[in-house]
Structure formats: structure tokens, C-alpha cells
Structure 1
Amino acid sequence: MYALIPFPDISPEIFSISLFGMTFALRWYALAYIVGILAGWRLVLRAARTPRLWRDGQAVMTPQQIEDLLTWVILGVILGGRLGYVLFYQPAIYLANPSQILRVWEGGMSFHGGALGVILAAFVYTARYKIPRTSAGDLVALGIFPGLLLGRLANFINAELWGRPTDLPWGVAFPTQAAQYCADVAGICARHPSQLYEAALEGALLGAVLVWLVWRRGAFKTPGLIMGTFLAGYGIARFMVEFVRQPDAQFVTGGNPLGLALHAGGYGLTMGQLLCLPMIAVGVFFILRARRAA
């Protein structure tokens, strides 16, 4: 028997109340969204109110414009995240049952779809108010990592999006029946806590790099650098974690046990990795363009 970590006894619900025959619950995942958005918003406001961070001592957006854009961003995250999940991961099921697309409370959100939703929302907003898009993108990118960090921690508490089976000593025995179904594993099945890997890489580490670049290196004075660093950094981190993350069940078959979305001869890429490649390419493009313009 190899070493493993038992899953902590944390309920996905913080508390619940019953009113008029209905039960209302506050879940950690919902709280992660709320706190992550508020923390990102406050961080962006602080950056906008710090003159020394900007080339001419003046941010490209006013605090009021940042608050207005926040509403657009929230809509972009929710609509883009849901539609991205539908289109990227389970199009056949939702096309056959289109009414299920609106059932967001049942789960199913895609970060890549949410990112596209945010980009579209920011594009429309900045065009409407004639705000420099690249610098606005830098501001938005700075405010995303708190939500990523808290969201991945909430995924762990929910015992979802776990990793592949492992015999490493920090493998976690997730309690769900699906997580405990591991081929060729006798007894308790331990899996990579891939949610925590992502929280550390996409949230804590990437966030620390972005904050350092903004407050210590004056990155806002080089438009595009922060946005490019976020896109490339997230893409690289997620690409690496995908090697140990359990793929969505619809991609796993007898001839494709690793759940690769694109494969040949036993090698290939998961859907998450495929979606990360354009993010990395676009991120590198913005970094190089920013450095040439500096």
C-alpha cells in the first residue's frame, strides 16, 4: 500500500437555509467567484490610482470606467465560460438537448471560453469609449489571477477536475465514485491534486509575476507586456498540468485511455492543451511586440 492523503472533510456548501419549502445554499465555488472578482477589481483600481505606474502619470481608464467594465467582464465570464464548455467539450449532448445549455447551476464552465468572453466584452467596451485596447487588456489581465487561484481551490473542495491516478506521496484519495474508478488500481485510488497544481501555477505564481512586473518593473509603461505575460503564462501552466489532469469522460475510450482530443500512434494533445496553444502564441506575440516598442 502506497502513501496517500485522505480527502479533507470539507462540505462544498458553506451554509444552507430553508425558506418556503426551498433550500438556498452558499457554496465555496460561488464564493470563490465573488471574492475573486472583487479582489481583482480592487487590485486593478489600486493600479489605476497609482500614477507612477503609468507612462504619463495617468491611467488609461478612470475608476468609474473600470467599474463599468467590470459588469461587462462578469457577463463575458459567465456567458463565454458556459458557451465555451458547450462548444469545446460536449457539443453533441447540448445540441441534442439545447435547454440544458442554460442550466449553469449544474456545472460546466470553460476557462478558455470565459477568456474569449472577457476579450470580446473588453473589445466592445473599449471601442465604445475609445480606450486604448492594449493598455486596457493589461489592466484586465492583472485582475484575473485572484479568481483563478480561488476558483481552483474551490474545484478541490468540490472534489472535481481531479488528476490522473498516481502513487506519489501527495496523491489524494478523492471520495467520489468516479474518482475511485481507476483501472489497474487495487484498493483506494489516489490521484494528482491537479486543482492545487493549477492554483499554485496559474494563480499564485503567475499572479506574483504580474504584480512584480507592474509595481517593480513598470510594465504598464510598455503596453501589451502584462496581457502577453498572462496569456503565455496561463497557457504554459495549463499545458503542463494537462499531462496529469484527468480528461473529460467523453474523450476517454478503449482505444484512447488518455482522453486525447488529437492523437495518432499513442501520442497527442488533450483538448485543454489544444486550446492553450493559441493562447501561448498570442501571448508571445504581445510580449515581443511590447519589447520592440519599449
Structure 2
Amino acid sequence: MQELFAASVLTYPQIDPIIFAIGPVAIRWYSLAYIGGIMFGWWYIRTLSRKPGAAMSESHVDDFVTWAVLAVIIGGRIGYVLFYNLPAYMNDPLAIFRLWDGGMSFHGGFAGVVVAVILFCRKHGLELMRVSDLMAIVAPVGLFAGRIANFINGELWGRPTDVSWAMIFPSDPLQVPRHPSQLYEALGEGLILFLILQLLYHKTRVAKDMPGVLAGLFIAGYGLVRILVEFVREPDAQLGLTSGISRGQMLSVPMFLLALWLISKGFQHKAKKAKKP
């Protein structure tokens, strides 16, 4: 079947998921994506914190890195267990701790970071909305890196298609042309969303006059891209579709409520500021 479609698909660039290995210790692109995303966020926000009136100090940023790492890992793992494969983990509870076997959920990691940001801001007396905006403008970088890592791993591919840019993934048991949906998400929730947020942060007064709006736009932007791409992404084998809707789409819908609340808080802040003499 692969030979039948060979002339109408792009060649999948097979890249070893393992960058290098020293004995039993292997460094993978997927791990590097997580590390790289967090390190970029740390560096970028630390750079912004040097400006007068910054939402966080450099020491705050340094302290929050540990919180962020734990929030992403713990939240992402718990989210995957609860939302995507609970019956399997009920049968083998110890598998929950085998992170090297894979299985992370963005929505779970997102929830973990939200809780971490709230607790961190309360502990240090920081403005929640302004700190949330900072987290939002760097988050797309991690999403971009993660989706590229998914593509390198040949996982989370799209549904069968006859578009000219379709690819046949080595791990696909059917060996049919599919949408490279990982690249769609890398482009939408990663690169495009990052550029939009940077433009708004650096070229407008949104961050200063309406704290919370950038965070709301990030959440809404991610939710929109995720919902749209899921229409061409292969649903999880153990879940399938529910009335034509994937689990990822279901989990993305409530995000719009949070986005709406954050954006409304930003507009309220601007309105109160305008009323002051």
C-alpha cells in the first residue's frame, strides 16, 4: 500500500528520536523539547524582568522555574491518566510513575501551571494577571517544540487524506498517507500564536492597560487551534470519538470560559483606570 501512494505523498524525514545515548541513559528530542521550552521561558521572562515596573523580579523568575517544571510534569501526567487512559492505569497503578513510557496531557499540564502561578503569586504578593500575561507570551515556544518532537517521534499523526503534502508515518500500522497534524499544531499554537502575542506585548499597550488579556488570548488561541486541528488528527485509539468529537476538543471548549474571564478582567481594569482622576 505504501508503494501505491508513494508518488502522491511527501517523504517522512525519519529522524532518530534519541539524540545520543551514554550507556543506558538516552537523551531524546521529546525531553529536549520540554527542557528547551522551560529554559527559553526562564531566559525570556528574566530578560523582561530587568525593565522598570516589571511584574516579576529576576529572583522571582529563578524561583518559579522549579514550580513550573513540577507543575508541567505532575499536571501533565495526572491529566493524561484521568482524561485519556484511566482504566489501563487502574489495572496497573505503578505505570503512572513510569514517565519514560510516555503519556502527557497539555490540558493537565496547563491546569498544573495555573495552580502554580496562583499559589506563587499569593506567596510573593505578585499581581496575578500581569504574571499570567508573562507566562502566556512564552508558552507557545514550548508548544512549538513539543509538537516538533511529536513529529520526530512519528506519533499523534493525522487522519488519512489525499492532500499532496500527506505523509506515511513508520509507526502507522495501516501505512496510509495522513495529515502531518503535528506540524499544523506547531504552526498554529506555536509559531503563529507566539508572533501574535509578541506583537501585542511589544507594540501595543495591552499588557500595561489591560492585564489578563494576553493570557486570555493565548488560552483562546490554543483552544481554537486545537479544536480545528483535531478534525484532521487521528483520535486516541483507546478513546475514539464521542458524537464526532475527540477528547482533545472536549477539553479545549472549557478553556474559552477562562479566556473570556481573563479578557473581561483586563477590560474592567482599563475602565477603572480611566475613571480615576
Q: Judge same fold: TM > 0.5, yes or no.
A: yes
Instruction: Report the equivalent of 1:225.
Output: 213
1:145 aligns with 2:140: yes
Distance 2:205 2:76 in 1: 32
Q: CA deviation at 1:123?
A: 1.3
Distance 2:188 2:258 in 1: 19
The answer on whether the counterparts of 1:173 and 1:180 sit within 8 Å (CA) in structure 2 is no
1:124 to 119, 122, 126: 119
Instruction: Report the equivalent of 1:278.
Output: 254
Instruction: Report the equivalent of 1:81.
Output: 76
Distance 2:177 2:41 in 1: 34
Backbone CA RMSD of aligned residues: 1.3
1:204 to 184, 187, 191: 191
Instruction: Report the equivalent of 1:236.
Output: 224
Distance 1:269 1:6 in 2: 30
Q: CA deviation at 1:106?
A: 0.3
Instruction: Report the equivalent of 1:136.
Output: 131
Q: 5+ unaligned residues in a row in structure 2: which ranges?
A: 271-277
Q: 5+ unaligned residues in a row in structure 1: which ranges?
A: 52-57, 182-187, 252-258
1:107 aligns with 2:94: no
1:106 alignment partner AA: D
**Residues 216-247 of structure 1 deviation map (CA, whole Å, 9 limit, x = unaligned):** 11322121011101110100010101101111
Instruction: Report the equivalent of 1:254.
Output: none
1:8 aligns with 2:13: yes
Runs of 4+ aligned structure 1 residues displaced above 3 Å come to none
Q: How many matched pairs? A: 264
1:284 alignment partner AA: L
Instruction: Report the equivalent of 1:180.
Output: 173
Distance 2:123 2:191 in 1: 33
Distance 1:4 1:281 in 2: 39
Query: Going by fraction, where is strand more abundant, 1 or 2?
Result: 1
Distance 1:279 1:289 in 2: 15
Instruction: Report the equivalent of 2:200.
Output: 213
Distance 1:104 1:59 in 2: 36
**Residues 123-149 of structure 1 deviation map (CA, whole Å, 9 limit, x = unaligned):** 111111121111111111122111111
Q: CA deviation at 1:72?
A: 0.3
1:38 alignment partner AA: M
**TM-score when scaled to structure 1?**
0.87
Distance 2:115 2:137 in 1: 17
Distance 1:273 1:231 in 2: 14
1:155 to 150, 153, 158: 150
User: Within 5 A, what are the aligned runs for 1:89-104?
Assistant: 89-104=84-99
**TM-score when scaled to structure 2?**
0.92
1:247 aligns with 2:247: no
Instruction: Report the equivalent of 1:184.
Output: none
1:277 alignment partner AA: V
Distance 1:47 1:129 in 2: 18
